[in-house]
Amino acid sequence: MSAIMEEMGQRALKLGIPLSVQLDLTYRCNERCVHCYLDHEDHGEMNTQEILTLLDDMAAAGVFFLTLSGGEILMRKDFFEILEHARALMFSVKLKTNAILIREKEAERIRALGVESIQISIYSHRPEIHDAITKIPGSLERSLHAIRFLKTFGLKVIIANVLMIQNIHDQAGVRALGAELDCYVTIDPTITPMMDGNREVLDLNISHAQLENLFHDPELVGNVDEFCAIPAAPDADMLDSLPCSAGHTAAYVSPYGDVYPCVQFPLATGNVREKKFLDIWRYSPEMNEVRSITLGDLTNCSKCSNLGTCTRCPGLAYMEGNMRGPSTQDCEKSLVRTGVLSENLKARRNKPIAGLIQIQGMSAAMAYPGSQQPL
């Protein structure tokens, strides 16, 4: 992070300014990715005027970084009207898209509107893998065409490579593709639960051994010894610090106008159809509860030796049942990274597992499934 960015972030934190907001314009999508956390039905999206008014309110609240995402943003027929308004309000706009609806005309318009960057999901350099994940034949080819159009117009394109069991062996191929197309590539090895709490998609997460390979790849992490080092024990300053920017300088707004601390933190704090964005941001009891939490308040985590480098996500912890608790997915990542069990994992390993060690008299049917109950 640049010194100016750090300074502005600190100023925004001090002044209570939501510097960064992700606004999902729709959950509708033209792909059906196997790992997606969203329900793609339209349950009452904000209309054009509601979104334009929200953008006015967010600009007045001091929002500077605006990420327009979805669903697929170009599924909205008013997408360019929204983007044009956002740029007229001088937001720094980042788009997240699968890009399959972006052709030369759309790329030229995005360029003319001064978009900062476009993040495009690419799962593999091989069509048979990428298209199997999106469930749309030809989707890789179309996304790559779009990237080429965007690059022709000099735009900054970021390839987002989410890793799962289907494409773990293709991340080097995607990185090579990124180099060929002059795109920055981000790698995300975490599949998160669906927004409704359904955790079945977590089965798609890569194995510990595969994660370990990623964490020991200098091309991905830089200095492996430094990256995987056991962090210094938490001190008072660290325990006084904040878990992340969610609710402090960052927020998320759903297509239905619901405001959350982050896209990955489904704690409802208010709806912009009922209250002004800034009022929700400033006065929502839920948002203020999130803001009240320091690392020292975290159960288990505040005592954990991995705290200094752990990527604990408060939203994943919340989805696990306690926003002050651990996020087990991040505990597992820390274990792979440092080789040290987190306090949470230690507690889980020491905890008797109900059912397996209870001793009680068994009926013949229980002891020998399929057998008949004695008469």
Partner 1 sequence: MEAASQKRYVARSTQIAARAVGGEMMIMSAKDSTLFTLNEVATAIWEAADGSTPLDEIVDQNVCAAFDVAPSVALSDAEDLVAELSSHGLLLVSDQPISSTGGPAKETP
Q: Which stretch binds partner 1 (CB under 8 A): 91-99, 100-108, 143-151, 291-299?
A: 91-99
**Sites for partner 1 among residues 153-212 (CB under 8 A):** 156
According to the binding rule CB under 8 A, does residue 91 interact with partner 1? yes
Q: Is 17 in the site for partner 1 (CB under 8 A)?
A: yes
Burial class (CB in 10 A: 0-12, 13-18, 19+), 349: exposed
Count of beta carbons in the 10 Å neighbourhood of residue 186: 12
Nearest-angstrom CA–CA distance, 105 and 144? 16
What sign for the dihedral angle of Cα 131, 136, 141, 145? negative
Stretch that binds partner 1, among 3-11, 312-320, 322-330, 343-351 (CB under 8 A): 3-11
Nearer to partner 1, 5 or 268 (CB): 5
Residue among 5 and 233 whose Cβ is closer to partner 1? 5
Closer of 10 and 299 to partner 1 (Cβ): 10
Spatial strand order in the sheet of 270-271: 184-188, 157-162, 117-121, 92-97, 65-69, 20-24, 250-253, 258-260, 270-271
CB of 201 to partner 1, least distance (A): 33
13 binds partner 1 (CB under 8 A): no
86 contacts 68 by C-beta, under 8 angstroms: yes
Query: 3-class DSSP state for residue 199?
Result: coil
For residues 107 to 136, the per-residue mask of contacts with partner 1, x marking binding by CB under 8 A and - elsewhere, is -------xxxx-------------------
Q: Is the dihedral of CA 309, 311, 313, 316 positive or negative?
A: negative
- Name the segment binding partner 1 (CB under 8 A); options: 34-42, 90-98, 304-312, 322-330: 90-98
Residues 274, 374: Cα–Cα separation, whole Å = 64
Using CB under 8 A, list all residues that contact partner 1. 2, 4-5, 7-8, 11-12, 14-15, 17, 19, 59, 62-64, 87, 90-93, 114-117, 156
